[in-house]
Amino acid sequence: MSANAVAAAEKSIHDTLTGARLPNWGVPAVGVGALAVAVLLNLTTGVAGVAGTLVVAVLLFLVGQTAWSFAVEGRRHAVDRLATTGIYATFLIALAPLISVLWTVIEKGTKVLSPSFLTNNMRNIGPNDLGGGVYHAIIGTIEQVLIASLIAVPLGVLAAIYLVEYGKGKLASAISFFVDVMTGVPSIVAGLFIYTLWVLTLGANRSGFAASLALTILMMPVVIRTTEEMLKIVPNDLREASYALGVPKWKTIVRIVLPTALAGIVTGVMLAIARVSGETAPLLLATSYVANTQFNPFAKGQAALPTFIWDQQGRGTDAALDRAWAGVLVLIFLVMLVYISARLIARAFAPKAS
C-alpha cells in the first residue's frame, strides 16, 4: 500500500472517531464577526461604552460559535466549546470594568499630575484656583497606614499563631468568633468607635494617630485570617521533623513555620493595607482635613489621600475635580508600589529549595 493510501486511511479513521471539526480559521472568524457586530450596535443602538460593547461581543461570540459547532461537530463538541469559551468569557467580562475604571482614572488623573502636584499642598488654594498639590495628603496616608500596620500586623500575626499552634478551648473559639465579627464591621463603625473612645471619652485630638487606630481595627481581622490560613497549609511533617530533632516549639514556629508561610503572610498584609489605604469614612470621623502639610500624627488634623479626594470632589469646580482624579491616580500608584515592594521582600526572604 502506498504512502498516500496509508495517509488517506489514517485520515478516514481519524474523521470517523472524532467527527467533523470546525476549520482553524473558524473561531477567529466568529470572534471578528462578533466584535464587528458589537461595534455596529454601539454606533446605531443604545449599547454604549467599551465595557458594554465587549460584553455584547462576547455574548454574540458564544452564540455564533456554539451554533456553528453544534451544526458541524455535534452536541458533545459544541457543549465542550461552550464551557471552555464560557470560562474565558467570564474572565473578560470581569476584566472589562477594571480596565474601564483604570483607563478613566489615568485619562482624567494625568491632566494635572506633575512633579509640582506631588510636592505642593493645598494651602491658600481656592476651589477655582489652578495649582496646588497632594504632598500633604501623601504624607498623611503614609504615616497613618504605617502606624496602623505597625500595630495591626504584629498583633494579627501573633493572634494567628496562637489560633493555629496553641489555641484550644473557649478562649480560641472566642477569639475566632470576634475576628469573624470584626471582618464584617463597616468601616464607618470603626471610625465612630475611635471617635467616641479616643476623642469624646479620652479628650484627645482628632488626629492622624486616631485615624490610624481606626484603620488598625479594619486591618487586624484581614491579617489574622490570611495568616491563619497560610499557617494551616504548612505541612505538619515539617513541624514533626523539627520536634524530632529536639527543637523547641517556639523556635520551630520562628525558624520553620513562619519562613515557609512568609509569602502568603506578606500577601495578606498587602491585602489589608490595600483595603485601608482607600478608606474615607473612618478618617472623616477620626481626623479633620487640613490643607497644609502636617508631619505630626498626634497634632490636630491631618490630611490623607482619601480625605483629599473627598474634599476636592465636594468643591465641584473643574480645577478641584481634576485634582481629585489626580489624587485617585496617586493613591493607586502608591498601593501598587507598596505591593510590589512587599512581593520583592517576600521573595527575597522565602526559603530556597535545596
Q: Output the pLDDT for position 2.
A: 63
Q: Output the pLDDT for position 42.
A: 79
Look at the domain 135-349 and name its fold: MetI-like fold (1.10.3720)
Q: What global pTM score does this model have?
A: 0.78
Domain ranges of the chain: 11-109, 135-349
* HEC-encoded secondary structure of 182-232: HHCCCHHHHHHHHHHHHHHHCCCCCEHHHHHHHHHHHHHHHHHHHHHHHHH
How many residues are present in the chain?
354
Cβ atoms 283, 213 nearer than 8 A: no
CA distances 206 to 65, 200, 213, 330, Å, are: 60, 10, 11, 25
Please determine, for residue 59, whether its predicted confidence score (pLDDT) is greater than 60.
yes
Phi, psi (rounded to 5 degrees) for 125 = -110, 120
Phi, psi (rounded to 5 degrees) for 240 = -65, -35
What is the Cβ-side half-sphere exposure of residue 311, based on CA atoms within 13 angstroms? 21
Number of H helices, E strands in the chain: 15, 0
pLDDT tens per residue, range 112-138: 888 899 998 888 888 888 888 899 999
pLDDT tens per residue, range 27-56: 888 888 888 888 888 778 766 677 678 778
